[in-house]
Amino acid sequence: MKHIAIALLGLAATLGNLSHAQNSPQMDLPRIKLSAGMYLIDTQVAASPEERSTGLMFRKKMPMSEGMLFVFEQAAVQCFWMKNTLLSLTAAFVADDGTIVNLADMKPQTTDSHCSKQPVRYVLEMNQGWFAKKAIKDGFKLSGKPFESK
């Protein structure tokens, strides 16, 4: 009986840690530098399904020159929502060559769907207003390692 009680306590502690991890921002993702003309973006890369599903959830702030690049295995119409996301963000849906297909402003903690206008492999999330302040619009080309010709 004592062994069962210890096992149950261990299981409860593990589940508690998992629950806490699911409600915490992910902060230890790999980083790369992207350029938007003369502007440098310090970008966290969310490449695995788990990293992409968590994204920027639960973050209370993000420096203006930082963003998160979501990398998918193949081009598809990508749709994003803002459940558990506390920041106002703009998503740039980006073609393989770095061209921004379309931008979508997204309100915090909503489940409204924001989709790419065509299949893409990349989505760059930045603080809302960043692209507008830099006069970056659909058709603008980003540069950096993911967008280099192979």
- Residue 26 is predicted with a pLDDT of 81
pLDDT of residue 25: 83
Q: Are residues 33 and 40 in contact, defined by beta-carbon separation less than 8 angstroms?
A: yes
Residue 1 is predicted with a pLDDT of 46
d(CA 138, CA 127): 17
pTM above 0.95, yes or no: no
What domains, with CATH codes, occur in the chain? 28-147 (2.60.120.1140)
pLDDT of residue 150: 57
- Four-residue CA torsion sign, 63, 31, 122, 70: negative
Amino acid at 48: S
- Return the amino acid letter for 60: K
Average pLDDT along the chain? 88
Q: How far apart are CA 51 and CA 43, in angstroms?
A: 14
Question: What are the residue ranges of helices labelled H in 60-141?
Answer: 130-133
pLDDT value for 18: 41
Give the type of residue at 92: A
User: In 44-125, where does DSSP find H-type helix?
Assistant: 49-54
- The pLDDT tens digits along the chain (150 residues) read 444 433 333 333 333 434 344 677 887 899 999 999 999 999 999 999 999 999 999 999 999 999 999 999 999 999 999 999 999 999 999 999 999 999 999 999 999 999 999 999 999 999 999 999 999 999 999 999 999 975
What does the alpha-carbon distance between residue 29 and residue 45 come to, in Å, rounded to a whole number? 6
